[in-house]
Amino acid sequence: MKPNSSLIGLLTTLLLLTSSVLASPQHGKAKGKGKPPPIPITPPSEEPPTHYGVLLIRAFQPLDIYGPLDTLQLLAHNRHLTLTLLSRTLLPVTSEPASAMMNTHRSTFWPTISPTHTLTSPPSNLQVLIIPGGPGARSPDLGPEIAFIRSVFPKLQYLITICTGSGIAAQSGVLDGRRATTNKAAWNSMTAMGPKVKWVAPARWVEDGKVWSSSGVTAGIDLIYEFIKQKYPNGTALTKRFGEVTEYEPETDWRADPWSERFNVTVPVPEPLV
């Protein structure tokens, strides 16, 4: 009986394919031999920012600054980042309220931060500006800060407001027509500073193009986790590791906002948000 030439050809092809797979360096790894292949890194659609600035105001809320910066400092161990601290002068900025009426116990428990640059001499390559809140957000004397936000905004890659920092940004007009949120305990006073802003509640944080805004204080940490996850290569793995080393479980749902109900703050969502 003569062998079938088509069958022989098929068997030969299968043998060649099997040999090729066995010779592949990934074959042994699939069986648990050696290290697994590295997780492919999908780069974001644009270059992630490397230069962050923080706008320092008197009577700032410390965690509005230190919360996001602590997470970004972890990121700085993984890639090059630059930090700029901006204020009117180079004198240390205090969290102490300017008014004695807001310090009725005459406390001296007020940390200070030393600026690196003044508002009139900012670095030219600033990419992200973080605006914290605190009692100082209600100050009537924020003219230089508001003017600075307005002037630098067009050149920024991103603007991030934490807590009542959105009220400061709103006064500059850069949030007009954009979605944003703020501290629900200060909702009425902050939203009044931006009548043309599309305020959103409930919201732990809100992203609208180059503008990111968080709800009150600790929400700023959750915002930064999400920002890193979205904007940096391997961001999901990085933030997972950051949460492990700091023993912190960030909120991953921007709509998870129990404080809106607590303070009876609900507004219609201006546009569909996913």
Distant-in-sequence, close-in-space partners of 121: CB < 8 Å, separation ≥ 6: none
CB-based burial label for 121 (10 Å; 0-12, 13-18, 19+): exposed
DSSP type of residue 125: T
> What's residue 147's pLDDT?
98
Comparing CA positions, the residue from 129, 126, 132, 151 lying closest to residue 93 is 132
Angle at 214 between CA 269 and CA 49, to 5 degrees: 115
Report d(CA 26, CA 29) in Å as an integer. 5
Is residue 14 scored above 50 in pLDDT? no
Instruction: Give the N- to C-terminal CA distance of the chain in Å, as an integer.
Output: 69
Q: pLDDT: is 118 or 22 the higher one? A: 118
| pTM for the predicted model, two decimal places | 0.82
Confidence class of residue 44 from pLDDT cuts 50, 70 and 90? low
Is residue 32 scored above 90 in pLDDT? no
Is residue 67 scored above 60 in pLDDT? yes
Is residue 73 scored above 60 in pLDDT? yes
Confidence class of residue 271 from pLDDT cuts 50, 70 and 90? low
Report d(CA 274, CA 271) in Å as an integer. 10
Confidence class of residue 270 from pLDDT cuts 50, 70 and 90? low
Confidence class of residue 266 from pLDDT cuts 50, 70 and 90? confident
Give residue-wise pLDDT tens across range 76-133: 999 999 999 999 999 999 999 999 999 999 999 999 999 999 999 999 999 999 999 9
Give residue-wise pLDDT tens across range 145-165: 999 999 999 999 999 999 999
Q: Which residue has the tokens 């920002």?
A: 227
Tell me how far CA of residue 235 lies from CA of 201, 220, 229, in angstroms: 27, 17, 4
Give residue-wise pLDDT tens across range 154-193: 999 999 999 999 999 999 999 999 999 999 999 999 999 9
> What's residue 46's pLDDT?
81
Contact status, residue 23 vs residue 55, Cβ threshold 8 Å: no
DSSP type of residue 185: G
> What's residue 267's pLDDT?
84
Is residue 228 scored above 70 in pLDDT? yes
Is residue 25 scored above 50 in pLDDT? no
Confidence class of residue 24 from pLDDT cuts 50, 70 and 90? very low
Contact status, residue 200 vs residue 270, Cβ threshold 8 Å: yes
Contact status, residue 255 vs residue 206, Cβ threshold 8 Å: no
> What's residue 116's pLDDT?
98
Q: pLDDT: is 199 or 270 the higher one? A: 199
Contact status, residue 177 vs residue 199, Cβ threshold 8 Å: no
Q: How much of the chain is helix, strand and coil, in % rounded to 5?
A: 40, 15, 50
> What's residue 208's pLDDT?
98
H or E segment to which residue 138 belongs: none
Mapped onto helix, strand or coil, the DSSP state of residue 79 is: coil
H or E segment to which residue 197 belongs: none
